[in-house]
């Protein structure tokens, strides 16, 4: 059974950000925001995005156009979703799989294990417990992809900051979209943490931030 879509028109005398902010307070379960001016000159989120998101306490997704998807008309071919075993990253991965299934895209799941290794004799050593955890996270993501009938590849990066690993992976090319699970942080502007801020500033491509 197909779902229904309700289209609501508002008075054009209100600005776009004000109209969306007012509508967001009407009891929705999920707010998805995508507007023209998403980034501010310093690389963070614009005041319009902050204004729209403030006062909405439910799950939030912020879509940013860029790269091949700058105009919003191109097919999404490859999606990168970083995972780390947290609920927020798993929900973002599920969002990526849902998008991939609807558009025939493939997904790469990137697991970053940083700052938890023991270097001896020039080699990186990880405990058996860490390796088991990494394998369990990637296995869970693979099983989730199977449920969505989505093509999936996984990658593991060790001893590197998460934002650096994500930027390096996108620099290799071929990705159209990053789907990143994040958590809101308190403050006067919309902020998802240092890692998300670095990805927003350094990755000039389409990004979907999924905050729950």
What pLDDT is recorded for position 175? 93
Residue 25 in any domain: the answer is: no
pLDDT score, position 115: 47
Name the domain count of the chain.
Answer: 1
- Identify whether 75 is part of a domain: yes
pTM value? 0.83
Contacts of 158 (CB under 8 A, 6+ apart): 113, 114, 117, 124, 126
Distances, alpha carbon 151 to alpha carbons 35, 85, 174, in Å: 30, 20, 15
User: Is residue 8 assigned to a domain?
Assistant: no
Residue 113's beta-bridge partner residues?
158
* 173 part of a folded domain: yes
Return the pLDDT at 20: 67
In a domain, residue 17? The reply is no
Beta-sheet pairing, 177-182 with 31-33: unpaired
Domain-embedded: residue 43 = no
**How far is Cα 133 from Cα 117, in angstroms, rounded to an integer?**
13
Q: Based on C-alpha coordinates, what's the Rg of the chain?
A: 18
Longest dimension (CA), the chain: 68
Give me the pLDDT at residue 123, please: 56
For residue 122, give its domain range. 62-211
Predicted confidence (pLDDT) at residue 4 exceeds the cutoff of 70: no
At residue 1, does pLDDT exceed 50? no
Tell me which residue has tokens 């491509």: 205
pLDDT digits (tens, 9 = 90+) for 47-102: 888 888 887 878 999 999 887 776 766 788 999 999 999 999 999 999 999 999 99
Domain assignment of residue 200, yes or no: yes
Question: What's the rounded mean pLDDT across residues 139-156?
Answer: 95
Q: Does 124 reside within a domain?
A: yes
- CATH at residue 147: 3.40.50.620
* DSSP string covering the chain: -----------TTS-HHHHHHHHHTS--S-EEE--S--B-TTSSB-HHHHHHHTT--S-EEEEE--GGGTTS-S---EEEEEE-SSHHHHHHHHHHHHHHHHHT-EEEEEEEE-S--EEETTEEE--HHHHHHHHHHHHHHHHHHHHTT-EEEEEEEESS-HHHHHHHHHHTS---EEEEEE----SSS----HHHHHHHHH--SEEEEEE-
**pLDDT beyond 80 at 180:** yes
Number of neighbours of residue 51 by Cβ within 10 angstroms = 17
| Range with the largest mean pLDDT of 21-25, 88-92, 112-116, 153-157 | 88-92
């Amino acid at each position: 059974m197909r779902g229904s879509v309700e289209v609501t028109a508002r008075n054009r005398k209100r600005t776009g950000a004000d109209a969306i902010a007012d509508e967001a307070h009407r009891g929705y379960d999920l707010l998805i925001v995508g507007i023209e001016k998403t980034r501010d000159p310093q690389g963070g989120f614009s005041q319009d995005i902050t204004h729209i998101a403030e006062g909405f306490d439910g799950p939030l997704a912020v879509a940013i156009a860029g790269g091949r998807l700058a105009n919003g008309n191109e097919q999404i071919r490859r999606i990168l979703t970083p995972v780390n075993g947290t609920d927020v990253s798993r929900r973002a991965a599920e969002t990526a799989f849902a998008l991939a299934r609807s558009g025939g895209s493939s997904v790469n799941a990137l697991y970053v294990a940083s700052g938890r290794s023991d270097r001896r004799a020039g080699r990186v050593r990880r405990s058996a417990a860490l390796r088991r955890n990494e394998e369990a996270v990637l296995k869970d993501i693979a099983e989730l992809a199977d449920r969505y009938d989505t093509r999936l590849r996984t990658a593991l990066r060790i001893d590197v900051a998460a934002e650096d690993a994500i930027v390096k992976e996108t620099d290799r090319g071929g990705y159209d979209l990053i789907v990143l699970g994040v958590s809101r942080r308190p403050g006067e502007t919309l902020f998802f943490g240092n890692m998300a801020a670095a990805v927003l500033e350094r990755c000039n491509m389409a990004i979907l931030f999924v905050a729950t």
